Amino acid sequence: MSFRLAALLIALLTGPAMADDRAILNEAFDAAIATFEAARPALVETEMGVHVAAYRDALTLQQFQSGHWGGRVTLDPDIRDTSDGSCSRFAAFVRIPPENGVVRLVFCPQFFSDGADGLRELTVLHEMVHVVAGPDECQAMAFAARVEQAATGTFTPVDAYWQASGCEGSGFRLPE
């Protein structure tokens, strides 16, 4: 009997928080989609090694036909409630390559922190590059910046992360 009571209490205590996180995640995806759609007319078919149609499908439909991974891939967003493992270092990360046609995109507690609204959209834009095109951090930063700039005329400064990732020597560039 006490196990059932404890399980019920946990469900009641975590249920609304998880619902709040899902709402925040949906808002971040909606903002990322709006920014991407505003940028799309200025993007070419393959932008910085990212197939734009596959990226759009992954972002909007959460499934896409992948030339990079080969075959149909489905996105599995996963909200974590603890900051352990990779969540101790990141707000979000992608588990790649796909397993059985599924790429898991993990959202950590930091993603849902108060005051992180502006970074949530950028995080979604960035992580979706990994979902579609692989693990290259420089590629993900450059593509997300390109999308932001094409949509708004400016992009979020990522200079420190760019330098820390050694992107100066990569084949990718941030917009000017």
Distance of CA 74 to the CA centre of its chain: 14
Specify if 77 maps to a domain: yes
Specify if 174 maps to a domain: no
Domain that holds residue 88: 2-169
Specify if 176 maps to a domain: no
Return per-residue pLDDT of the chain as tens, 176 residues.
333 433 333 333 444 557 799 999 999 999 999 999 999 999 999 999 999 999 999 999 999 999 999 999 999 999 999 999 999 999 999 999 999 999 999 999 999 999 888 899 999 999 999 999 999 999 999 999 999 999 999 999 999 999 999 999 999 999 98
Report whether 98 contacts 72 (CB < 8 A): no
**Helix/strand/coil (H/E/C) assignment for every residue in the chain:** CHHHHHHHHHHHHHHHHHHHHHHHHHHHHHHHHHHHHHHHHHCCCEECCEEHHHHHHHHHHCEEEECCCCEEEEEEEEECCCCCHHHHCCCEEEEEEEECCEEEEEECHHHHCCCCHHHHHHHHHHHHHHHHHCCCHHHHHHHHHHHHHHHHCCCCCCHHHHHHCCHHHCCCCCCC
pTM assigned to the model: 0.89
pLDDT score of 17: 59
The Cα 160–Cα 164 span in angstroms is 6
Specify if 72 maps to a domain: yes
Report whether 132 contacts 63 (CB < 8 A): no
Specify if 175 maps to a domain: no
Q: In this structure, what token pair is assigned to residue 110?
A: 């930091």
Neighbours of 173 (CB within 10 A): 14
Specify if 43 maps to a domain: yes
How many structural domains are present in the chain?
1
